[in-house]
Copies of this chain bind each other. A is one copy, B any other.
Amino acid sequence: MQIAIGLFPGFTALDAIGPYQVFTSLPGAEVVLCAERPGIVADDNGLLRLEVEHTFADVVAPDVLVAPGGVITRRIAQDRGPIVDWIAAAHPHTTYTTSVCTGALLLGAAGLLEGLPATTHWFGYDHLRAQGALPTERRVVIEGKIATAAGVSAGIDLALTVVGELAGPEAAQAIQLGIEYDPEPPYDAGAPSKAAPEIRELVAGFLQQAEDQVMAAPA
């Protein structure tokens, strides 16, 4: 079973590494990190620099495809960057095509979400709707073979769900225990409906600013 995690400059680290940690714990699974070109791919902080060996062209028919997010995805979706073509070409061959956070916008740009329920980071619902999808506030949405997750940390829940479907609940539970995923957030503020309004506004303002910068940058 081959699991491909597609990377691009500006991806959000945990979007990719949450599923990476789960899928690399599955015996028999071959996890491949891939990008447009081999070499260093940096995250949205520019701090986490991954040396990537494989290109999209090396992984044409993965069993599971994972598209992480990042503020830059809105721009990549608009410009139809290389990862969008990769997703569109690989999707007919996958068992599951998945996204974490605003990675959903890449699936949308590849034409996969038209008319379908899907999720993304809560700040991205409008962009997802503009692509013809039906955004919902659920943490993981499985619609046929398309699985989308909410923001950043939700990729862990998505990957465990997909492992449960592909390899059975015992395998998924063994991985959950192996990564001791028994979460105890110190606050109950992890969803827009749970956080205080002023905190939601603070985060939305910050994300809007980041998105404006990304959309205004030269091609």
Contacts from A to B (Cβ < 8 Å): 12-14, 17-18, 20-21, 24, 31, 33, 40, 45, 47-51, 101, 121-122, 139-140, 150-154, 156-157, 160-161, 164, 169-170, 172-174, 176-187, 189-192, 194-196, 199-200, 202-203, 206-207
Taken together as a complex, chains A and B put the C-alpha atoms of A195 and B175 apart, in Å, by 11
Cβ contact of A156, chosen from B153, B176, B202, cutoff 8 A: B153
- A47-B31, A50-B48 are contacts. A189–B176 as well, Cβ < 8 Å? yes
> Chain B residues with Cβ under 8 A from A203's Cβ?
174, 177-178
Central interface residue in A152, A199, A202, by most chain B CB within 10 Å: A199
Cβ contact of A185, chosen from B24, B101, B181, B196, cutoff 8 A: B181
> Chain B residues with Cβ under 8 A from A122's Cβ?
180
Contact between B47 and A180, CB atoms less than 8 A apart:
no
Taken together as a complex, chains A and B put the C-alpha atoms of A101 and B164 apart, in Å, by 24
Contact between B176 and A185, CB atoms less than 8 A apart:
yes
Contact between A199 and B180, CB atoms less than 8 A apart:
no
Contact between B182 and A194, CB atoms less than 8 A apart:
yes
What's the nearest-Cβ distance from chain B to residue A150, in Å? Answer: 5
Q: Can you name 4 extra interface pairs (CB under 8 A) apart from A21-B153, A122-B180?
A: A13-B20, A152-B179, A176-B195, A177-B192
Taken together as a complex, chains A and B put the C-alpha atoms of A21 and B206 apart, in Å, by 16
Cβ contact of A196, chosen from B31, B172, B173, cutoff 8 A: B173
Taken together as a complex, chains A and B put the C-alpha atoms of A33 and B170 apart, in Å, by 35
Contact between A152 and B173, CB atoms less than 8 A apart:
no
Taken together as a complex, chains A and B put the C-alpha atoms of A169 and B207 apart, in Å, by 20
What's the nearest-Cβ distance from chain B to residue A13, in Å? Answer: 5
Taken together as a complex, chains A and B put the C-alpha atoms of A48 and B14 apart, in Å, by 13
